[in-house]
Amino acid sequence: MRTWHMVNRYEGALTMRKRSAFTLIELLVVIAVIAILMAILMPALKIAREQARAINCLANQRSLTQAYIMYADENDGSICGGWASPNATNGVPPWVRPPGELAPDGSYTQVSGAVSFEQRMNGLRAGALYRYVNETDVYHCPGDMRKNLGTSLGDELEYLLFRSYSLSDYMRGVNADDAKKLFSFKDQANKMLFVEEIYDGSAGNFNHDGWSYIPFSNTLWDPLGNFHSDACTFSFMDGHAERHKWQDKRSVIYFNSRGEAAALGFGKGDQFNPPNVDLEWLDDHYPGKTRTAGGN
C-alpha cells in the first residue's frame, strides 16, 4: 500500500513538471511578443538617447561661450585667438592648443604624429579658456564618435579626434585687421560663436584653424558636425546656445561626405543650384560679412 502511494505521488510530480514547462509554440509566441516590444521601444530609446546627447552638447556650448565671455571681461573686452595655435600670436593666446606635453611648471610643448589621448587633453588644458571651465569633456559633443572610431582616413591614434567645437575664421583675433573686441559686435544674440565642426585629420592630428565659411557666396567650405540627426548646435555671443535643424538635404550630404557632394555637383566651393536655404540661415548668423575680418 505504501509503495502504491509513493508511485502515485511520483507520477503526480512528473505530471506537474510536464505541465509547468513551455511548449515550443508558447516559446515562439513569447519570443515574437518580445521582438514586437523591442521594435516598438528601440526607436523611442534611440530618440531619448539622442535628446540627452543634444542637451549635453548645448550645455557644453553654453559653458564654452561663458568662458569666452569671461576671458573678454577680464581682458578689457579683448577676445582670445580663435585658432588652435601652439603659441600666442601677436601677444594673443589661443583658445586651445594642439596636442602636447605639459610640464609640472605649466610649460607646454606641442607633439605630432600618433598622439595619446592625454596629450590631446593637455592641448585643451593649455588653452586660454580652460581655466574658466576646468573640464575637458566640455570640448566634446557626446554624439561625436571620432574619439573612438576615428575618421574616414583611419582609426589610428592621429585620427581619434576629441574636440568637437570650433570658432569661425572671423573670430581669429590675432591679425591687425581681425576683430579684437567682443563688445564691438552688434546683435550678439544672433551672431554665432562656437560651432560643431567635423574634421577628418587630413591636415594633421588636430583641427588647427577655425570653421571656414564664405558668407553670401551660396557655397560651403568646411563641413559642420552632423551629430544630432541632421541638426547642429551653435552658441551665440550673448551666451545662449541652440540646435538648428537643416532644411536642405544637400547640406546633410555635404556634412557627411564632401566627396559625395562633389559627385552630385555641390562640392567644396561650388555654388548651390538652386540656392540652399540653410546657407541663408548661416549668412544671417555668421559674425561678419566676409570669411575673416580682413575680407579674405
Name residue 162's amino acid: F
Beta strands in 147-275 (DSSP E): 165-167, 192-196, 231-236, 241-245
Which of 293 and 7 is assigned the larger pLDDT?
293
Q: Is the confidence at residue 41, as pLDDT, over 90?
A: no
pLDDT at residue 50, as a whole number? 72
Tell me: pLDDT of 24 over 80: no
Q: What is the DSSP letter of 172?
A: -
What average pLDDT does this structure show over 276-280? 98
Sort 74 into a burial class: Cβ within 10 Å, 0-12 / 13-18 / 19+: exposed
Distances (CA, A) of 24 to 19, 27, 79: 13, 5, 70
DSSP string, 65-125: HHHHHHHHHHTTTBPPBSS--SS-BTTBPBSS--SEEE-TTS-EEE--SS--HHHHHHHHH
Q: Which residues pair with 195 in a beta bridge?
A: 166, 234
pLDDT digits (tens, 9 = 90+) for 50-98: 777 889 999 999 999 999 999 999 999 999 999 999 999 999 999 999 9
Answer whether 62's CB lies under 8 Å from 239's CB. yes
Query: How high is the pLDDT of residue 19?
Result: 53
Q: In the predicted model, is pLDDT for residue 43 greater than 70? A: no
pLDDT in tens, 137-168: 999 999 999 999 999 999 999 999 999 999 99
The pLDDT, as a whole number, for residue 53 is 81
Quick: pLDDT tens for 176-223. Answer: 999 999 999 999 999 999 999 999 999 999 999 999 999 999 999 999
Record the pTM.
0.84
Confidence of residue 294 (pLDDT cuts 50, 70, 90): confident
The rounded percent of the chain whose pLDDT value lies above 90 is 78
Model confidence pLDDT, tens digit, residues 232-250: 999 999 999 999 999 999 9
Q: Which residues pair with 233 in a beta bridge?
A: 243
Give the separation between CA 179 and CA 181, rounded to whole angstroms: 6
pLDDT tens digits, one per residue of 101-138: 999 998 999 998 899 999 999 999 999 999 999 999 99
